[in-house]
Amino acid sequence: PRLMRNVIAQYFRGSELSRFVSARRRRGTHAQTRLFDFLHEEAPDEPLDVRTFPLAHHAAGIGKVFARGDWTDDATWLRFECGHWWNQHQHFEAGNFEIFRYEPLAAESGEYTDWDSPHAVNWLIRTVAHNCILVHQDDETWRNVRNRQGRPLANDGGQANDVFYRHTLEEWEREREHFERGTIIACENRPDFMHVAGDCTRAYAKSKVSLCLRQVVFLRPHTIVILDRVTSVRPEYEKTWLLHCY
C-alpha cells in the first residue's frame, strides 16, 4: 500500500491525498521502497494538517467504520465491520471489531497458509477466528466454504454462506438475498465519542438466530463500550462472545 500511495499521490497532484503523503514523508527502509521513492518522488505538495480531518470514517458501501481517539501517536484505533458479502476473499465476520494502540490489542486470529487449506476454511476465515458472536446449533452444517463442497467442515457456531460468489454484478443482484449479510444501521461521530450499530442477523443461519445487533461506542480518547443483543431460535443454543488478544 505504501508504494501505490506514492504513485497515486503523484498522479493526483494537489489533492488531499497528495498533501497527506507530503505530511507523512517516510524514507524507504529497504531496496524496493527506496526504488519507488526514487522513481516517483517529486517536489512535495504543501503538507496537509491531518488534525483537521474527522476522527472517524464510515465506508458505507463496504460496511466498515474506521475511528481513532485523536491524531497523536498515542491514539487508540478502532475498526468495525458489518457489510454485505461481495467476493471470495471475505471472511465470515459481520460485527467484527479490532482495537489498536501501539500494537494490536483485539485482532483477528489465524495464519494465511493456503487459499482453501483446512486451517483457512475451518479457522482463518470463519467467525470463530474473529471478535464476533457464536451461536451453537449442534446439527448445523457448512456445505460450501471457498468451494470446498463435499468436504467435512467444522461447526464453529458462526456465520454461514452457502452461496460462494458470483462473477458479475447482475448475478449478484439476482441473488442479493444470499449476499446481504450485515448492515450498519446507525453511525454518529462527534468530537468526544463515536457510535456505530450493526445488524448482523442475516449473517447467521435462520435456523438458529432471529436477532443479532451489535452497538459500539468509542468514548474518546481510549474507552470502547460494546452492547450486544442476541436472540436464538431456541434459548438453549449456547452463545459465545469472542475476544482475540495478543
pLDDT band, residue 115 (cuts 50/70/90): confident
**What pTM did the predictor assign?**
0.86
Q: What is the chain's percent helix, strand, coil content, to nearest 5?
A: 20, 25, 50
Query: Cα torsion at 181, 184, 134, 171 (round to 10°)?
Result: 10
Is 194 within 8 Å of 207 (Cβ atoms)?
no
List the chain domain ranges: 2-50, 55-241
Average pLDDT estimate for 29-36: 75
Supply the mean pLDDT for the chain.
89
Is pLDDT above 70 for 5?
yes
pLDDT tens digit string along 183-209? Answer: 999 999 999 999 999 999 999 999 999
Helix (H) or strand (E) holding 64: strand 64-68
pLDDT tens digit string along 136-194? Answer: 999 999 887 887 767 789 999 999 876 667 788 888 888 877 788 899 999 999 999 99
- Compute CA distances 239 → 74, 154, 230, whole Å: 35, 17, 8
Q: Does the domain made of 55-241 have the CATH classification 3.90.1150.10?
A: no
Residue recorded with cell 503523503:
21
Q: What is the pLDDT of residue 25?
A: 61
Q: What is the pLDDT of residue 27?
A: 65
